[in-house]
Amino acid sequence: MSNALKLDAVSKTYNRGKPNALKVLDGASLTLEAGEVVALVAPSGAGKSTLLHIAGLLDSCDGGQVSIGGTDMTGLSDARRTAARREEIGFIYQFHHLLPEFSAIENVVLPQLANAVPEHAAREHAMQLLARVGVDHRANNRPAQLSGGEQQRVAFCRAMANKPRVLLADEPTGNLDPATSDKVFEALMELVRETGLSALIATHNLELAARMDRIVRLENGQLA
Ligand code: ADP
């Protein structure tokens, strides 16, 4: 079976060729096997977000290769990258980034409609996801009417809505108080395990990191 995500000697320099050039990634390599959940641990400013954005095809690298499901994504056109991102990748940020004018369920339905799923099927699947993380009773509320933990649970459902191959998360519980963070993280892990997804989850929290299959550290632009 091909691996879910492979980063091969990825490098990235901001402001290349300028006096303030900053080399953030310098040959970072990582293989995420199907179903594997890996913690990405690094001090702030080390380049975690940069790495996740490159892995999620939101940003490009200057050197190296990013493959998803065995397909090299590095040289794709913008249109193909956008399609690959929509079909293969789920992204969770520290802040939920839900659409404020739409209800919780609509936030989970919309990405499916963009992927040509019929509306009734999209709603049914959205409701199943919301129920699995315990927020189905809030389905018709807008994000502003939900607690921080509930908002983040809905954001997990949105990220999973199109059954991606890879889930990328940037401090997914970093905005929550410790007790809520623990519960919400548990819900995320259950959802990931149930769906058999591969995940790369950045966290500062070593206790949460220890609950994943493996920890990789980002240091001096490389992964170990
Ligand atoms: P982390 O997520 O680990 O905190 P980031 O990937 O956000 O780290 O940033 C790594 C370094 O790159 C930081 O020093 C940051 O200031 C710098 N950086 C991030 N994005 C840009 C950008 N678009 N242009 C220039 N420098 C950037």
Among 169, 172, 131, 176, residue whose Cα is nearest residue 149: 176
Mean pLDDT of all residues in 162-168: 95
DSSP letter, residue 135 = -
Average per-residue pLDDT for the chain: 94
At residue 2, the pLDDT reads: 73
Give the Å distance between the CA of 53 and the centre of ligand 1: 11
Give the Å distance between the CA of 220 and the centre of ligand 1: 13
**Which CATH number does the domain housing residue 98 bear?**
3.40.50.300
Among 42, 74, 79, residue whose Cα is nearest residue 61: 74
> Cα–Cα distance between 153 and 173 in angstroms, integer?
10
Q: Model-level pTM?
A: 0.94
Give the Å distance between the CA of 221 and the centre of ligand 1: 12
Q: What are the tens digits of pLDDT across the range 121-149?
A: 999 999 999 999 999 999 999 999 999 99
Q: Which ligand 1 atom lies nearest to the CA of residue 14?
A: 25
H or E stretch at 32:
strand 22-32
- Token digits of residue 12: 């990235």
Q: Which ligand 1 atom lies nearest to the CA of residue 44?
A: 4
Q: Give the chain's domain count.
A: 1
Query: Atom 26 (ligand 1): residue with closest C-alpha?
Result: 14
Q: Which domain holds residue 41?
A: 5-223
Which residue reads 């607690």 in tokens? 147
At residue 63, the pLDDT reads: 94
Asked whether 49 lines ligand 1 (CB < 6 A), one says yes
Q: End-to-end alpha-carbon separation of the chain, Å?
A: 24
Q: Is the pLDDT of residue 1 over 80?
A: no
Q: What are the tens digits of pLDDT across the range 80-116?
A: 999 999 899 999 998 989 999 999 999 999 999 999 9
Categorize the per-residue pLDDT at 203 as very low, low, confident or very high, splitting at 50, 70 and 90: very high
Query: Atom 4 (ligand 1): residue with closest C-alpha?
Result: 45
